[in-house]
Chains A and B, each alone.
Chain A
Amino acid sequence: MESAAAPAPAPARARLAKALRNLPALVAALLLVGAVALAIFAPFVAPHAPDAVNLARRLLPPGAAGDPLGTDPLGRDVLSRVLFGARISLLVGGVTMLVAGLIGTCAGLLAGYFPGAVDDILMRLGDIVLSFPFLLLALIVVAALGPSVRNLIIVLVLRSWITYGRVVRSQVVEMREVEFVEAARALGAGHVRILLKHVLPRVAGVAVVVASFNMAEAIVYEASLSFLGAGVPPPTATWGGMLHDNLLYIATAWWTIVFPAAALTLVILALNVLGDWIRDALDPNLRL
């Protein structure tokens, strides 16, 4: 039974347009869920161990029995390596996103809410880090600390928290003088309570948008560093590392390069589409 208060049904055309607008985001979300599932269950899904060398089966083209996407110059199964590579990419991207998001959001809340010294330090720090080409910085730091997943995440967090910090700060600055904050203050609420109960929920959406783009960025940087040979050390399977390892065979074994490249691009694409969609859903005028 339809209630009288229900809004009039939208014309079919408008409904179709609306559905089409949300379609890319839906596909992107499904793709990401699929990627995460494949990464988690990689040991059960992958036909071989990712670093199982089999020199008798080197450089087999896709479609070979047992190696659907072919094998690499060491006879390792490309499909298995792509699946296990997803683990590294999603781990580095996900952990960077969470840690940088936590640090950056807190820093942004504090800087926006308490103008003055905290604010100045945060912005200056950001200026300095941003005035450096990040890839150069990351190469130097990774060269110093030694390449590993943990060190990669440290470098990426050092760069990423600033973005959250700045975006959250600008939102908080706008909000500081808004009535509900003043009202809460007049009612005797403490700073911590105001920040957590009133300000945080209103900046959380923006932080989520940043998080989505940040995860994509972190994955690109991880892959780029691995591609330069300064990321996760071999024989661990990573998408960037596979391109690095197989570059010599670029003319003869396209499958060793195209499949990891496609996996990487799809995940980045999905994260960007999702980020766009969340942003537009929150506020189409938001510039991030």
Chain B
Amino acid sequence: MLVAVSIAVFVVARLSGDPAALMVGDTGTVADLARVRHLLGLDRPLTVQYGIFLAGVLHGDLGQSIFYAEPALPLVLARLPATAELAVTALAVALAVGVPGGVFAALNRGRLGDWGFVAVAVLGQSVPGFVLGVLSVMLFVLDLHWLPAAGIGGWQHLCLPALTLAAFSCAKIARLTRTSVLDTLSRDYVRTAYAKGAAPRRVVWRHVFRNAALPVMTMAGLELGQLLSGVVITETIFGWPGVGLLSIDAINHRDYPLIQAVALSVAVIFVVVNLVVDLAYGFVDPRIRYAGGA
């Protein structure tokens, strides 16, 4: 799996064009171009380049950024906390609003509250992230002057980017929670619990919620991956100095080592997050804890 990802990262980075041509510019001669390509090791066969790249990866060395003339991996790692702050806040907001909202809607199925809730969620899923970002800047920054537009700082700076990023995931999580709770409510064990006289509150939290939480957790793990994609847009709109902005920089400069470092880091984060989610199942669902093996 990781070998495949490393090959994909390598190939995709090379797709983005020739950095030597960009460095030499319009005024350089063919000899300049050849010299730069040699300096960067781009004149060697692709298989050799990949070998060097892979050997570096195994040593934790992702090469020098061509544009920043610094090691690529530390550049990415330096930007990671800002992106993590944004993505984790967004996911936390999405879960904190989406899960209770979804449970509420499911328990009020067919009533006005449910109907309104689904309508808002469908809308939330349909507004593209950049539209929401731009419109919220218009409203909260330019019109109401409540919040700063760009940069990093206190919670005021975090507010708009995190909410913009959270909206889509929140709507998705809310709808999944609703479906999942509805599905669980119709199960026999829930009917049994009611029949034996358990208090509704106890049935909902002990029997329904714990079982309905599983698909929501899987989704939350996948959503973090999606959020890393949305981060590119959000960071651009709000000038948030994270990995998203760095990756746009890297692509514009055809900075292979930096693109590789970004892509590989993101892929690794994605895999790790999903592993953590798989492990976390055990805490929620004892059946999985004891099953093991598979």
Contacts and interface: CB of A to CB of B under 8 A. Distances in A.
- Are chains A and B native binding partners rather than an unrelated pairing? yes
B182 to A, nearest CB: 9
Interface string A7-23: 00000000000000000
B228 A133 contact: yes
Contacts of B270: 131-133
A268 interface: yes
A130 B225 CA distance: 9
Contacts of A247: 134
A241 to B, nearest CB: 12
Interface stretch (B8-16, B42-50, B69-77, B96-104): B8-16
A24 B236 CA distance: 34
Nearest to B229: A133
A224 B179 CA distance: 29
Interface stretch (B52-60, B120-128, B155-163, B188-196): B120-128
A250 B135 CA distance: 9
A227 interface: yes
Contacts of A227: 130, 233
Given A250-B137, A257-B138, A124 B247 contact: no
Interface string B214-248: 01000000000110111111001000000000011
Nearest to A273: B122
A254 B228 contact: no
B251 interface: yes
Q: In terms of DSSP, what is the predominant structure of the interface of chain A?
A: helix
B271 interface: yes
Given A224-B128, A247-B134, A250-B137, A140 B259 contact: yes
A135 B271 contact: no
A273 B127 CA distance: 13
A224 B232 CA distance: 10
Nearest to B186: A285
B130 A136 contact: no
A264 B248 contact: no
A269 interface: yes
A128 interface: yes
A132 B266 CA distance: 7
Contacts of A272: 122, 125-126
B285 interface: no
B251 A140 contact: yes
Interface string A225-267: 0011000000000001001000100110010011001001100
A133 B266 contact: yes
Contact of B13 (A130, A140, A257): A140
B247 A136 contact: yes
Interface of B: 1, 4-5, 8, 12-13, 15-17, 122-123, 125-131, 134-135, 137-138, 142, 179, 183, 215, 225-226, 228-233, 236, 247-248, 251-252, 254, 259, 262-263, 266-267, 270-271
Closest 4 CB pairs of A and B: A133-B229, A144-B15, A269-B126, A268-B126
